[in-house]
């Protein structure tokens, strides 16, 4: 097989939607197969040359750590193709809200008294899978279309490192899929200048304003130096991507400016993808 994806994550974080997206991308889908049976099934499919792209849905119901470990299963799967683990997550309050809307029981509802306890226990039980994840996606604020875009970008890159630069607003929550997070809230804020408030970090008015500030330039120089130093190391370590998130209060001015500037300076050396998470909130 060319690629085997193990798709796992917290219940309510969008695993079913992710598998549907992967099916549209050409993957053959097997969902909720008990983990102990996975190596045998994959070996059979591999021997039969049945497919090149396979995605295996795994959740808390298909895991049984008393019978087999995720490490043993992944090591066995690597005999049949390139293996990646996609782990989906979302903030706790988002998961609670989703369950309240769907009125579906949590898979652990028969063992614990509250939904919050189920969510927290599940996170602990899934930690061995999370630890092996090659791609973590925070779906807290993503639509299905945005999830499809994210999966297409992050799974279609081949062997080259892709640098994902993401702007965000702290008031909307820290992205859970970031490898590195830089806080820009201490820098001068265009939001408090009436004539600049309606613009974004992509507009020349904001770029000129921020570029004229010494502390902004010092912060940018430090971030660029860090990124420029460590990206070659990540690439040599066979990383497929690295997600660098830069946040300000609302995700409209400072973080957008930094991401845009950093993308411009890095694109000569690296394949760069830009995501402005809070674009839908821009006025």
Contact call for residues 260 and 196 (beta carbons, < 8 A): no
For the chain, which residues make up each domain, given as ranges? 3-155, 162-281
The stretches in the chain having pLDDT less than 70 are 1, 48-51, 64-67, 156-160, 238-239
* Closest of 37, 254, 38, 275 to residue 154, by C-alpha: 275
Q: Report pLDDT digits (tens) over 70-98.
A: 888 898 998 888 888 999 999 999 999 99
How far, in Å, CA of 91 to CA of 82, rounded? 30
Q: Known binder of ligand: residue 102?
A: no
Residues contacting residue 245 through CB under 8 Å, at least 6 positions apart: 166, 167, 168, 174, 175, 178, 180, 181, 182
The pLDDT, as a whole number, for residue 82 is 85
**3-155 domain in CATH 1.10.10.10?**
no
Residue 271, annotated as binding a ligand? no
Is 59 known to sit in a ligand binding site?
yes
Flag whether 11 is marked binding: yes
For 260, the enclosing helix (H) or strand (E) is helix 254-266
Query: Binding residue per annotation — 152?
Result: no
SS3 3: strand
Provide the CA 34 distance to its chain's centre, in angstroms: 25
Is 12 annotated as belonging to a binding site?
Answer: yes
The three-state secondary structure class of 267 is coil
pLDDT of residue 211: 97
> Which is it for the CA torsion 282, 246, 6, 110, positive or negative?
negative
Residue pair 259/166 in contact (Cβ under 8 Å)? The answer is: yes
Q: What is the pLDDT, as a whole number, of residue 249?
A: 97
Is 239 annotated as ligand-binding? no
pLDDT at 213: 98
First to last CA, the chain: 47
Check the annotation: does 9 bind a ligand.
yes
Cα separation, 208 vs 212, in Å, equals 6
Specify the pTM: 0.60
30 labelled ligand-binding: no
Q: Is 251 annotated as a binding residue?
A: no
pLDDT of residue 239: 67
Query: What values do phi and psi take at 21, rounded to 5?
Result: -65, -45
Q: What tokens were used for 145?
A: 């279309």
Other beta carbons less than 10 A from residue 245's beta carbon:
24
Tokens of 270: 């690296």
CA-closest candidate to residue 239, choices 184, 185, 192, 180: 180
How far does CA 181 lie from the centroid of its chain? 13
């Amino acid at each position: 097989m060319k690629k085997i994806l193990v798709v796992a994550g917290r219940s309510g974080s969008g695993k079913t939607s992710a598998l549907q997206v992967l099916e549209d991308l050409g993957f053959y889908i097997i969902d909720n197969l008990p983990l102990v049976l996975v190596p045998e099934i994959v070996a059979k499919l591999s021997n039969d040359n049945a497919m090149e792209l396979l995605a295996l849905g795994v959740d808390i119901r298909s895991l049984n750590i008393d019978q087999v470990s995720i490490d043993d299963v992944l090591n066995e799967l690597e005999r049949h193709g390139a293996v990646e683990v996609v782990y989906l997550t979302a903030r706790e309050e988002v998961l609670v809200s989703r369950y309240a809307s769907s009125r579906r029981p949590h898979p652990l509802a028969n063992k614990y008294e509250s939904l919050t306890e189920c969510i927290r226990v599940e996170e602990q039980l899934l930690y061995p899978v999370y630890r092996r994840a090659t791609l973590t996606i925070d779906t807290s604020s993503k639509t299905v279309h945005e999830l499809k875009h994210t999966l297409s970008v992050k799974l279609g890159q081949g062997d080259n490192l892709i640098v994902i630069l993401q702007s965000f607003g702290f008031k909307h929550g820290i992205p859970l899929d970031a490898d590195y997070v830089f806080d820009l809230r201490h820098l001068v804020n265009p939001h408090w200048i009436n004539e600049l408030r309606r613009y974004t970090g992509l507009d020349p008015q904001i770029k000129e304003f921020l570029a004229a500030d010494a502390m902004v330039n010092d912060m940018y120089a430090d971030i660029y130096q860090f990124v420029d130093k460590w990206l070659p190391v990540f690439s040599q370590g066979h990383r497929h991507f690295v997600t660098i998130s830069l946040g300000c209060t609302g995700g409209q001015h400072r973080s957008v400016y930094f991401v845009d500037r950093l993308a411009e300076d890095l694109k000569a050396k690296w394949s760069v993808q830009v995501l402005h998470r809070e674009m839908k909130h821009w006025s």
